Chain A
């Protein structure tokens, strides 16, 4: 078999993976990127609304700074985030936006003078500062004190990905597309590469490297009904989990976006509401101000999705043959706005559901959208439990999002983590020795070829697509916006049963080459394991925090649950192992988010007591040493100087 060797192997060539690859290439390292699809088709391209960064150039962003962005992010996370990582992110986001401008992104810019906008349902005139003419502008998004989301119309992910890939082409970074990593090769607690299957011709080959990077995006497709691209099946987090050494963090933290369209579950951006769009019920009544008088349609996504579901349960949903939904009203924004700044949304509505948003209401409902959980990494992006393995972007639990991420923070995370973690990866690869243990690689590859042989020849009768659908049904029915112990028990039992049936999966397609059914069959175990971890983690977490809402435990419980779930799956074990670690150093004390309501059970430790145990407890669960000590990037009580809501938008 072929073994290809480079300094850095990047699995996944969306925004996070490419930005990290670029950092290594610029440091003079030999980089190979693998991707299921051509890089520009990665799911990053589908991000519409924008990226949060506190540039503060627009009139409604005046007074913004990284501290205010950090505050919004920590509150948005319902205090589940690692506050130091959120700080590293907020501090670097403005630099990343400007760097992307330098790389060629045609960000929308400030146009000085008065303009009409919709704020909280009312037409208002704001005056953009002439002195800021031509600087990067921003739109409004949910859960933020300032207008902070930088954008190119509603094609932000697309333009940023194209600019990034242009740079990757310029730097001549090797890209092998239509490649799927099946397992990680490791020995003595260090990752040395991956076993890979070509989706062009089915070849199995090995890639060895000093540093291996996973940037494969989220696991939204486990839910079936998801805004995610069909490639987002948790492939990267699966291979990390299957080492038995690397834990996944907070897998039960799953985001439901308020505005997936019905049917098809395609996303229409939060920018719709940021630009003034309204949510209406069956009576065409605007219900959000009743639930959330302050933030209205622009509370955080977990809150808006919960309120929508709550309103539907009150009998205010619109009946349709695709189930109940609510309406998104953009009509008042007018034709010009909808065919320029929200043009993708306009196209999606016209082509996919035959709705003209200039004249008609858009049917929407909360739909699975984002995976807060993922491969648990330290602040340098290195995985717990395995040296030389890094993860970043949606696949990682770096953990700036905690239990709910703000809109515009994930696309920004890809380029910021790409920049910050990318540098750490390059540093690591520059000092690491290559372990070119080809025979070890071949041993790992043989496990995969044996598995393929089993899938093609075993006498079982399980259909992989049927199993995939069963997993999705269980998650949809029991591990959705509102969760109960009873429902979660059912999901856990059902998924356990599915795990037992996996050995009987039989692939019917026998032709050589791409074999899409075999690809699905090779993924199904990782999907079932992760679904199980989501459900079991949700069952064990007897509180409500961010997007994790337990009807039977409605309070956020900072006394018992101000922690992060870590799930690992020891080799050969029937069950995953659950551990809990402190969320990270606390600087902003847990408090009310300012939206969403809900009860709280206060922590009984002081911040000092909590912070004193962070490092030791995290290290005991596999955290690798970081290049700088824990907490040094978190300036103490800087937030006391900022009162973000005093001159709120």
Chain B
């Protein structure tokens, strides 16, 4: 028999005078293969026309719809109600600026992160439209792609203990981005430059190793491997720096 689902949804509209954060409850009949994309649209279109949330691709690709679903950050579009109990609690992701109800401003945070990390290929080469492309072996291309698969949904940051107490922390998404460019032979940044960028509390040494990020990442990015790679690299960087200091003047 079809279930009647109970949705308990966090509501708050910061543009509305005197609004207070609260929980609204909605009932919805479950239909076969119902996911939270369809469920939330049904609630909005029939019960709560001002309900705010974000979906774009509704296919698990664009990273818009991450939210706390029964206490766990994940993508709403590909969460099936069949996998959840009768009562479903939805909250916005913590850490990010709240825009309203379940909608948070991940876009601006990720844009700023890209800027901080200078998330682009650093090279002095100019593009030559008449030349053959620079060669790269396919294994390297695949390795870059592994980290490039991040969809900036923010689940890792929402799940991160460090990020909740230290807002400057780059989070797994930021460190993964560092890894992506470290792996890329086209990027000419040297170890010293990377060291200055990420060997701080906001970077790789802020991580306390609980690895909730790795548990919740909807794209199964190899975050453990990327972190240990960066740490090894940075430790090598420290050694170089110490040796330099030890040199007689």
Contacts and interface: CB of A to CB of B under 8 A. Distances in A.
B52 A514 contact: yes
Interface stretch (A95-103, A204-212, A423-431): A95-103
A340 B141 CA distance: 12
Contact of B60 (A133, A175, A201, A347): A347
Interface residues of A, number: 74
Contacts of A166: 114, 119-121
Contact of A229 (B56, B115, B119): B56
A461 B184 CA distance: 58
Given A41-B64, A152-B145, A352-B35, A515 B55 contact: no
A502 interface: no
A517 B49 contact: yes
B125 A102 contact: yes
A3 B51 CA distance: 29
Interface string B106-129: 111011001100111100010101
B59 A348 contact: yes
Interface string B18-40: 00000000000000110100000
Contacts of A515: 50
Contacts, number: 194
A200 B99 CA distance: 7
Nearest to A136: B133
A234 interface: no
A202 to B, nearest CB: 7
Residues of B contacting A: mostly: loop
A109 interface: yes
A133 B134 CA distance: 11
Interface stretch (B9-17, B161-169, B201-209, B240-248): B9-17
B62 A98 contact: no
Contacts of A516: 44, 49-52
A367 interface: no
A352 B61 contact: no
Q: Tell which of A348, A351, A515 has the most Cβ of chain B within 10 Å.
A: A351
Contacts of B44: 516-517
A230 B56 contact: yes
Contact of A158 (B61, B106, B108): B61
A452 interface: no
A359 B87 CA distance: 33
B63 interface: yes
Interface residues of B, number: 61
A135 interface: yes
B96 to A, nearest CB: 12
A169 B114 contact: yes
Nearest to A469: B45
B50 A170 contact: no
A97 B136 CA distance: 14
A201 B58 CA distance: 24
A38 B106 contact: yes
Contact of A352 (B16, B60, B129): B60
A231 B56 contact: yes
Given A106-B144, A135-B132, A170-B118, A155 B149 contact: yes
Nearest to B149: A155
A202 B15 contact: yes
A40 B149 CA distance: 12
A229 B16 CA distance: 29
A106 B33 contact: no
Nearest to A202: B15
Nearest to A175: B111
Contacts of B106: 38
A165 B118 CA distance: 12
A512 B184 CA distance: 46
Contact of B135 (A97, A134, A347, A507): A134
A411 to B, nearest CB: 14
Nearest to B119: A166
Interface of B: 13-16, 32-33, 35, 44-45, 49-52, 54-64, 78, 99-100, 103, 106-108, 110-111, 114-115, 118-121, 125, 127, 129, 131-138, 140-142, 144-145, 148-149, 151-152, 184, 186
Given A41-B107, A108-B142, A512-B13, 6 more contacts: A98-B132, A101-B133, A107-B133, A169-B114, A340-B142, A514-B99
14 contacts: A38-B108, A41-B57, A46-B57, A46-B62, A99-B129, A104-B184, A109-B141, A135-B132, A152-B148, A153-B145, A159-B148, A169-B114, A516-B50, A517-B44
